[in-house]
Amino acid sequence: MFFCITFGTQEFKSPLKGYEHITTRCLNCNNWRAYCIKDWEWITICFIPILPLSFHPYKEVECQICHFRQDLRDRPDIEAQRQQGPGQIQMTPQAPPAPNMPQYK
């Protein structure tokens, strides 16, 4: 009888609740395609998540273009955007918007 048991880690990503409407500038490539995500890594046995590698999921900002990640605590500008609410996003003069920036209503 032969059993094949695989061990590994699996990263579970999802949009961060309360931050879904926020699109911000990536500090690595300067494109306006960074989104807030919740990221939680788990140990898996046979692809079944068994044990989390941290007590809480990480709250990060991830760029969709260059995949640069940054801790949400290092981006106080995002909390300011969140308090303004959707549709109130203002661009700063230091960061001109990219030509492929999504339109907001």
**Contacting positions for Zn ion (CB under 5 A):** 26, 28-29, 63, 65-66, 68
| Cβ 62 to Zn ion shortest distance, Å | 9
Of the candidates 93, 56, 53, 87, the residue with the CA atom closest to the CA atom of residue 71: 56
Tell the smallest beta-carbon distance from residue 33 to Zn ion (Å): 7
Give the residue with the Cβ less far from Zn ion, 59 or 69: 69
Decide whether 29 or 43 has the Cβ nearer to Zn ion: 29
Cβ atoms of residues 63 and 28 within 8 Å = yes
C-beta of 10 vs 70, nearer to Zn ion = 70
DSSP string, 19-52: -TT--B--TTT--S-EEEEEEEEEEEETTEEEEE
Give burial (CB, 10 Å; 0-12/13-18/19+) of 32.
buried
Closest CB 15 distance from Zn ion, rounded Å: 17
Least distance CB 47 / Zn ion (angstroms): 30
Chain mean position to CA 96: 22
Residue nearer to Zn ion on the CB measure, 36 or 63: 63
